[in-house]
Structure 1
């Protein structure tokens, strides 16, 4: 178990909730509250608690690399891993770990809580128990998110609710499993490791890849977009309308084309949380393809952003990145 920070380990402070320490001892005290048969079903575990717990709102690509580095450093010692993380950017970290740890062939379960561990009737103890049990499932071989009784693919999960115990969903992918009758149930006989290279990002990152995210809005023009599409930008997640529509603005499309020709990787996904792109259905979608924009299919913004960051961090050429980008 790697405790990185987040609400699950927080305690009340003068300014509100703040990162807490002594997490392993506190976690074991809470797990001891479970009924005897459920305690007996828990796997044995060790805990690595970061001395500088991360508020997930402050998470950066360097933190994704640090977590992957710690998992790989201990990959031969454990049958599975639990990563405890703040919920605000948990989906981003889970997606990044999906790419960084592809091929590890062990369960890596990312979880957290909407409320701190000691809150009565909160969700922390339940999520902790579920994460530990799913991490001991031999049929699981990928990064997954265990939260609110659901087991979701790490590269498909999104935070869906700011407060509800079932705070995460995977709108375009089936669940990997769920928690039924106080036991983990997998919906797959053997999960697939995501395609990729089992290798962490360089850590620490001295110069993280320059990747941005932009959602279109009515009235956007090429002058506005040009402020983002600088020559230094290496990748862009472009959230378009519907199944792949953009404004019929020749200057805007020319700007996108110029950026892709110089090597900027631009990936289009829909602003709709459900469904995927069909860029050949409309003329504007065809124009995006002509401009060199990559069809991101049904990938989430978190998945595309972290995929771009990971591939670029490996030093691959733009053409190689294009080949590996959409799994």
Structure 2
């Protein structure tokens, strides 16, 4: 049987009721005690590397998770990371960029209801994550509500329901029903399994936190961009629809040009969850194509955020940053 390592980081899945509200208290060994039957399919070990509400997750803690996986990489065949749901999409994306060329599965999971509760979704999610970590399928994934999703496409779309995660703009990798993994037939899974065979795993945890996500809204004041120019190295602009940014009474386009001239990495994405941007359709979008902007394509905001942090932390010139940002990364 394969050896799987559980890395516990906190979150709802590990929480207990207190007078102050839910607080993560359960460690990795306690968590595994709730699903003893899973030990029939693999050798399981568990370590607790932190115990935080995922609201308090940050790039330094994400780097700690990546480093923990890297340090145990030769000892185990697969990894499961339990995590709070609120920032799970960010961490899963960050791990994808920090652990490039990984040849083993890393599955991030959590729950909407604590594992101690009678009606918890934690046992199913954790069991599914361990099952998929037992597969010969490399990459960073999220396991939630019977679905396996690539970490760069998993987004929390509901605040309470147990089906709170969806794979946005990319098919789910697999579903797990009654303990059986059913791969998505529309994906060429052999291609994804083989993609990193000739490359060596790299741990690169430098993440630049000097970025800002800015949502455009009707009436946004252009002077906010002067502050951005003086205090950040990169900005992700959530445009209207398919890529519209105001250029008339509230001229934001000229301010974007100033950011670019000042050397900032400017990423254009959309406020819409699905289908991404296309600046070639409307005049308000075509104006932007004259400038050195970075196209987010159909990336989620979570993926774009962590990808830009990684790019600014590890790459020096604009051309390299743009190529990395605009390349598809599973």
TM-score (norm 2): 0.90
Pairing 1:48-59 to 2, within 5 Å after superposition: 48-50=47-49, 52-59=50-57
Aligned alpha-carbon RMSD (Å): 2.0
Shift of 1:101: 1.2
Question: Partner residue of 1:281?
Answer: 281
Aligned residues: 314
Question: Partner residue of 1:253?
Answer: 253
Shift of 1:312: 1.2
Q: Return the alpha-carbon distance in structure 1 between the equivalents of residues 141 and 166 of structure 2.
A: 12
Question: Partner residue of 1:296?
Answer: 296
Shift of 1:11: 1.0
Shift of 1:222: 1.2
Deviation digits for residues 127-158 of structure 1 (CA, Å, limit 9, x no counterpart)? 110000010111x1110100010111100110
Question: Partner residue of 2:152?
Answer: 155
- Please say if 1:166 is aligned against 2:140: no
User: SS where residue 311 of structure 1 aligns?
Assistant: helix
User: SS where residue 231 of structure 1 aligns?
Assistant: helix
Q: Return the alpha-carbon distance in structure 2 between the equivalents of residues 197 and 256 of structure 1.
A: 37
User: SS where residue 108 of structure 1 aligns?
Assistant: strand
Shift of 1:27: 2.1
Question: Partner residue of 1:17?
Answer: 22
| Aligned mate of 2:9, from 1, 4, 27 | 4
User: Contact 2:13 / 2:122 at 8 angstroms: preserved in 1?
Assistant: yes
Where do 5+ consecutive residues of structure 1 fail to align? none
User: Contact 1:253 / 1:291 at 8 angstroms: preserved in 2?
Assistant: no
Deviation digits for residues 94-129 of structure 1 (CA, Å, limit 9, x no counterpart)? 011111112011111000011111111210101110
Where do 5+ consecutive residues of structure 2 fail to align? 1-5
TM-score (norm 1): 0.90
Question: Partner residue of 1:185?
Answer: 182
Q: Return the alpha-carbon distance in structure 1 between the equivalents of residues 104 and 67 of structure 2.
A: 15
Shift of 1:269: 1.0
User: Contact 1:238 / 1:268 at 8 angstroms: preserved in 2?
Assistant: yes
Pairing 1:110-259 to 2, within 5 Å after superposition: 110-138=108-136, 140-187=137-184, 188=187, 189-190=189-190, 191=192, 198-202=202-206, 208-227=208-227, 229-249=228-248, 251-259=251-259
Task: Tell me: CA distance 1:100–1:196, structure 2 relative to 1, closer, same or farther (3 Å).
Answer: farther
- Please say if 1:29 is aligned against 2:60: no
Deviation digits for residues 34-93 of structure 1 (CA, Å, limit 9, x no counterpart)? 5xxx6523x21211102x412110111111111111111111111111011000000000
